[in-house]
Structure 1
C-alpha cells in the first residue's frame, strides 16, 4: 500500500512513492476545515481492523488533524452491463416529520408543534435530536409515522424503551403506546434497533413482505427496495421471514438477505459495514458502483440517471464521511476513471468514461 505520510508536502512533485492522483487526494483532505471527530475516529478504526485486507488492494488515504482513511478501488465485474436507464427517486420530505392518525403532519423541532407532541405523550430530548415516548401516558393509543429527509438521521425512543435510529429517507410506523397484545412496527428504508427485553411481548419489525421477530436484541434492517433487503444482527437472536417462505434464525455477526428463489441467504459479515451510517460514514465493501451512487443520491437528495453505456457493475470499496460535500465525493469517484459522473440540475448523471 502506498501511504501518504504527514511529513510529505502536498505541493511537492510526485515521486515513485506518491502518484499525482495521491498527491491530489492529499490536497483534498488538507483543505477540509470542519472536524468531525467521531467520523474520523471510526474511519481510522475501520482502517486498522481491515488492514490485512487493504494491503492486498490498491488504496488511497490521507490524514486531516487526527488520522482518517479513505480508500477507493474497483474490481472488474464479471456481470454484464446493464442496458436500461435507472432513476433513483430521492426522499419526498425536507424535514423530520411526524404524521398522526388524524392526518396532521408535525415538524419535529418546530416550536409551533410542541403542544401537539405533548398531546401524543411524546417529548423532544437531547437538544431536539431524540423523540421519546412515555409508557405511563394516558393518551389514547394511535398509530404515527415518523419520516426522515435526505442527509438526516433521527433517534426515537418508543414507549417500551426500545431505541430506533432512522437513516435518511426512511419512515417508521408505530403506536404511541404498545398494548399487551405485542409490539409491532413497520419500516420503509433503514433503521437500527436496540430492542428492550420483554419476553411476554415479542418485538416485530415489518418491512414489505419481510418480518423480523425478536425478544430483545440489537440489529439493523434495510429495505429501500426489494433488491436491497438486509437484516444484520449485532446481539441476541432474530427470526426473519418473507411471505410464506420458512423463517430463518440468524446469530450475531450474520446478515440475512432474500435470494431470487425466495430462500434466505445467510452469511457471516463485518457488521460495521452495515451499521457505519449511524456513525456518520459511507462504508462500502465489494459493492457495485451502481449501488454506491444510488446511496449517494438518497443521502444527498438527488435522482441518479445511468446512461446505458456506463459500466456501473464493477465492485467498489469506498469509505467517506457523510458530511463531505457531494461535489467532493463525485470528484473522488471520477478519479477512478471507471465512469464519468457529474452533478446535473436535479440529478447525478452517470455515463461512460
Structure 2
C-alpha cells in the first residue's frame, strides 16, 4: 500500500504539471477510486505539507473541499457536485514557484463561487477554455519623466545610478528599491514616475517616503518636496508608507480630492472615478473632497463616489486591497468585473465579460507571477467559459445570479 501511495503522489504531481499521459491518467483514476476517504485525505495532505509547510499556512482541507477535488480528478465519479462550505483563504507568497501555485489551485480548490442564497446550490461544473495562449505576468517596469520632457526607463536591474540631472540622482539600492536623491543648490522642478499596464514599481521619494505604484499609475512630485509641505499628485493606484515629519504634512492630490497625513501607511485607488477609495493600514489621515471630509483610523475603508460623497466602514482585513504590493492577487467576495479589471491592467490585455458581471463572489489568493493561462484555468474551474485570442480575453457567464 505504501508503494501505491508514493505512486499516487507522483501521478498527482505529474497531472498538476501537465505531464500526465493517458495511461497514467487511467492509473491515477484507478488508484484513487480504490482508496478510502482517510487514505485520500492523507495523500492530499502530504502534498500540501511538502510544498507549502514553510509558508505557515493553515490546514487546507475540509471534507467538502477534499470531495470536490476528488470529483475533479476522477472526472467520472458520481460525486460531481458539492455545496460550497465557508470561504477558505490561504496566503501564497509571491516567491512560490508556479508548480506550487498549481498544487494549491488543483489540489485544494481555493477559488470557488459563493452563492448569494440561503440554500447553497451546487458548484458549477468546470467551464470551457477556447484557444488558450499564454501571456507573461506584469513586472517591474516604469518611466521617470522630468519637467523638460526627458524620460528614462526604470527597469534596469544593476545596483547603482540609473540616471541623474542638475538637481537629482536616481539609484537602485542593494535592496532592489529605486531611490530618488535630491541634490541641493538647484531650483526645484516637478518630476513624474509612471507605470504602464503590466508594470509596477517600488520607489523612494526625496523625503524617504516609500511608494508602490500599481499598473497604469503615476505620481508627480517636487524634486525637493518643498520645505513647507510635501505635495504629490497621483493617478491609478498607489500604496504609501509616508516618512514621519511632524513639521510638514504630506498631501496626496487626485481626481477624488486630497489626503493630508503626517506619517502613516495607506492605499489609494482612483482607477474608477465613480468608486475610488482609500484604505488606512496605520496612523491617521484626513480625506477631503469638494463635498465632504473624514478623518480615518486604521482598518477603515472610505469609498469616494463620483459626486465627492464619502462612506467610511471598518475593514479588519485589508489584504484584498493591498495584497498587490506584496505580489498577490487577493480576492475577497470579488465580482467578475473586479477580477477582469485587475487582469486587464496586470497582463496588459483587453477583457470583455458576456453575461452577469456583478453577482459572482470570488474568494482566493494567488501569486501575480503566474502566467495568464493559470488565471484562465481558475476562471474555467469556476464554471466560466473563457476565450482568448488577439490579446483579448472573453469571459462568458451565462448565469443570471451566482
* TM-score when normalising by structure 1: 0.75
Is 1:295 paired with 2:342? Answer: yes
115, 139, 148: which one aligns with 2:195: 148
Q: Which runs of 5+ in 1 are unaligned?
A: 79-92
Distance 1:321 1:121 in 2: 35
Q: CA deviation at 1:103?
A: 1.2
Per the alignment, residue 386 of structure 2 pairs with 341
SS of aligned partner of 1:274: helix
Residue number in structure 1 paired with 2:128: none
Q: Do the aligned residues in 2 keep the contact of 1:59 with 1:73 (CA within 8 Å)?
A: no
Deviations 1:163-209 (A, max 9, x none): 11111221111112111231111111111111111122110111213
Map residues 179-258 of structure 1 onto 2, 5 A cutoff.
Answer: 179-242=226-289, 244-258=290-304
1:325 counterpart (362, 371, 392): 371
TM-fit CA distance, 1:263: 2.8
Matches of 1:6 and 1:310 in 2, distance apart? 44
Contact 2:89 2:365 in 1 (8 A): no
1:232-255 Cα distance to aligned partner (Å, 9 max, x none): 11111011122x222101111111
Question: Which secondary structure state, in structure 1, belongs to the residue aligned with residue 234 of structure 2?
Answer: strand
Aligned residue pair count: 311
Q: CA deviation at 1:161?
A: 1.2
Moved more, 282-291 or 268-277: 268-277
Indicate the structure (1 or 2) with the bigger Cα radius of gyration: 2
Change (3 A) 1:60 1:186: closer
| Offset of residue 8 of structure 1 | 6.0
Question: Structure 2 matches for 1:1-353, cutoff 5 A?
Answer: 9=9, 10=12, 12-13=28-29, 41=55, 45=57, 56-57=85-86, 71-76=110-115, 95-109=141-155, 116-126=163-173, 129-242=176-289, 244-259=290-305, 262-269=308-315, 270-307=317-354, 309-337=355-383, 339-353=384-398
The answer to whether the 8 A contact 1:60-1:70 is kept is no
Q: Which has a greater percent of helix? A: 2
The aligned residue for residue 19 of structure 2 is none
Query: Residues 129 and 225 of structure 1: is their aligned pair in 2 closer, same or farther, counting only changes over 3 Å?
Result: farther
- Deviation string 1:263-302 (CA, Å, 9 cap, x unpaired) is 3221221122211112111001011111111101110001
Which stretches in structure 2 are left out of the alignment for 5+ residues? 13-24, 66-83, 118-138
Counterpart CA distance in 1 for 2:372 and 2:270 is: 24
Distance 1:96 1:149 in 2: 7
For 1:259 and 1:199, how far apart are their aligned partners in 2? 31
Q: Assess if the C-alpha contact under 8 Å between 2:279 and 2:302 holds in 1.
A: yes
- Aligned mates of 2:184, 2:171 — CA distance in 1: 15
| SS of residue in 1 equivalent to 2:228 | coil
* Aligned counterpart, 1:84: none
After TM superposition, the score normalised by the length of structure 2 is 0.67
Alpha-carbon spacing, 1:119–1:260, altered in 2? closer, same or farther (3 Å): closer
Contact in 1 for aligned 2:169/2:182 (Cα 8 Å): no
- The offset of 1:136, in angstroms, is 4.9
- Equivalent residue of 1:224, what SS? coil
Deviations 1:206-234 (A, max 9, x none): 12133111011111111111134221111
Give the direction of change, closer, same or farther, for the CA distance of 1:144–1:289 in structure 2 (3 Å limit).
Answer: same
> What CA RMSD, in Å, does the superposition of the two structures yield over aligned residues?
3.8
